[in-house]
């Protein structure tokens, strides 16, 4: 059964309300200036205050220094800080310990070697996010609307929970669930009508497609 549906790159009340109303379980706020989805900490905290505990809150950061992470942890009180940069397992563990927050590490996947790299984080983080590697010349590490070969991660067990990201949308998420056997998915550009502009209709369609394509649900119906 799919346990987590994360809508990342939330920046407006309309998008937040749509994610909650559709049945998403997590929302992500991006603290990376080069992203079209970037928000200020004050704005993110105001939006997070509207969740009333209905969804988990994730703060996406990229190689942020400790003073920035401390402010995020204090003002936003996220359920996870998502590390989307070049943070090592040692750095991830340091962040988790120093800021008393759960940590999710994003790993760019292109081949089997990347999965071995992901396994190295098992003792240092609380969750992994498997994303497509950005194309050469990309100015941001995620949100590039690119998928990778989901067959690579079928049966993947790194020792911590993991989430699938990268190029997902309502049109392909059922196939992604079937091939990868993941129990958690993350979407950003796949529910946008323009870069950084979330579409409530696409959010609803994505969440509905996840539920409709859940392999366990389909098995139960068939039985």
Q: CATH number of the domain at 62, please.
A: 3.20.20.70
Compute φ and ψ for 10, nearest 5 degrees: -70, 135
pLDDT of residue 143: 52
pTM of the model: 0.93
Note down the domain range covering 163. Answer: 4-222
Per-position DSSP letters for 34-102, written without gaps between them = TSTTB--HHHHHHHHTTSTTSSEEEEEESS--HHHHHHHHHHT--SEEEE-SS--HHHHHHHHHHTT--
Give me the mean pLDDT over the 188-213 stretch: 96
Say whether 198 sits in a helix, a strand or coil: strand
pLDDT 10s digits, 74-119: 999 999 999 999 999 999 999 999 999 999 999 999 999 999 999 9
Q: Work out the mean pLDDT of the chain and round it to a whole number.
A: 92
pLDDT of residue 142: 53
Q: How many domains, in total, are found in the chain?
A: 1
* Nearest residue to 53 (alpha-carbon basis) of 79, 89, 75, 83: 79
Strand 4-8 relative to strand 26-31: parallel, antiparallel, unpaired? parallel
* Nearest residue to 8 (alpha-carbon basis) of 55, 70, 74, 64: 55
Catalytic residue ranges: 8, 131
* Nearest residue to 140 (alpha-carbon basis) of 24, 38, 41: 38
């Amino acid at each position: 059964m799919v346990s987590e549906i994360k809508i990342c790159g939330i920046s407006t009340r309309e998008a937040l309300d749509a994610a909650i109303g559709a049945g998403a379980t997590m929302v992500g706020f991006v603290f990376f200036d080069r992203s079209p989805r970037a928000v200020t900490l004050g704005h993110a905290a105001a939006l997070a205050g509207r969740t009333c505990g209905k969804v988990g809150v994730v703060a996406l950061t990229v190689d942020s220094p400790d003073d920035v992470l401390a402010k995020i942890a204090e003002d936003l009180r996220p359920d996870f800080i998502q590390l989307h940069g070049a943070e090592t397992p040692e750095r991830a563990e340091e962040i988790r310990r120093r800021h008393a927050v759960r940590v999710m590490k994003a790993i760019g996947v292109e081949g089997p070697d990347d999965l071995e790299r992901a396994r190295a984080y098992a003792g240092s983080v609380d969750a992994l996010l498997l994303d497509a590697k950005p194309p050469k010349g990309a100015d941001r590490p995620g949100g590039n609307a690119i998928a990778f070969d989901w067959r690579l991660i079928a049966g993947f067990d790194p020792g911590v929970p993991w989430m699938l990201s990268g190029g997902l949308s309502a049109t392909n998420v059922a196939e992604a669930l079937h091939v990868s056997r993941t129990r958690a998915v993350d979407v950003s550009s796949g529910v946008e009508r323009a870069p950084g502009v979330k579409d409530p209709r696409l959010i609803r369609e994505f969440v509905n497609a996840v539920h409709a394509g859940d392999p366990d649900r389909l098995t139960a119906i068939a039985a």
